[in-house]
Each structure stands twice: as C-alpha cells, then as structure tokens.
C-alpha cells in the first residue's frame, strides 16, 4: 500500500507541473505542441538521470520519481495525438520534423541524463 501512495503522490505533482507548463506555453502563444515537447524533453533527461542514480529496483524513491512524477509529467499519448493532428491538418513537413526532433532529442537527453548521473556516482 505504501508503494501505491508514493506513486500517487508523485503522479499528482507531475500532473500539476505538466498542466502548468502546457498552460504557460499556450498563454505565451506558442504552437500547440510546444508544452508536450518541453515536458517530454525534461522527462527524458530526468528519467535517464534518476534511473542511473537510483539503481535499486523497488525503491520507493524510484517509484515516486519515475513511475509517479515523470509518468504523469510526460505523455506519449499527447505526443501521438499532436502528431495525428499535424497529419489531419495536412502539415506533413511539421509532422515529420516534430516526430524526428522528439525521437532524437528524447534519446539524446535520456543518454545525457544517464551520463551526468554516472559521473556523479563515481
């Protein structure tokens, strides 16, 4: 039961942070997909970093941060929906660019987070 409470607490914080960033990017007049891109890139870096720093499986800290906070903060479903919307409006170039940038940036930032944490572990 304790594990579920840690995950729920992290998820609550992650969801509020995600909404805040999405609202900010919307109010700033940025393209509709900007908030998702920002949270997914922060999340990719943080997941790489946290996973390397907290190796032990079943750790309550890892459950709170990875499954709870980052799980609700980042969103693959919204990324997929936004890519579909770009296709639906016929913006094939932006769809291709957005998909490629998300994949490449996400992988790069996850690896960077891991490498930085790895150096701190020494």
Q: Which residues line the annotated binding site for Na(+)?
A: 71, 74
Tell me the binding residues: 71, 74
* Cβ proximity of 70 and 116 under 8 Å: no
CB 68 within 8 A of CB 9: yes
DSSP structure class, residue 29? T
DSSP string of 40-71? HHHHHHHHHHHHHH--STT-HHHIIIIIIIIH
67, 5 contact by CB (below 8 A): no
């Amino acid at each position: 039961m304790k594990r579920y409470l840690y995950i729920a607490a992290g998820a609550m914080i992650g969801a509020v942070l995600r909404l805040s960033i999405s609202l900010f990017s919307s109010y700033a007049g940025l393209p509709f997909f900007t908030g998702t891109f920002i949270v997914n890139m922060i999340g990719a870096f943080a997941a790489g970093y946290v996973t390397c720093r907290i190796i032990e499986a079943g750790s309550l800290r890892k459950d709170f941060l990875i499954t709870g906070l980052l799980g609700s903060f980042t969103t693959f479903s919204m990324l997929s929906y936004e890519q579909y919307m770009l296709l639906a409006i016929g913006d094939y170039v932006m769809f291709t660019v957005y998909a490629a940038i998300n994949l490449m940036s996400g992988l790069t930032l996850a690896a960077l987070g891991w490498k930085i944490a790895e150096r701190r572990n020494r």
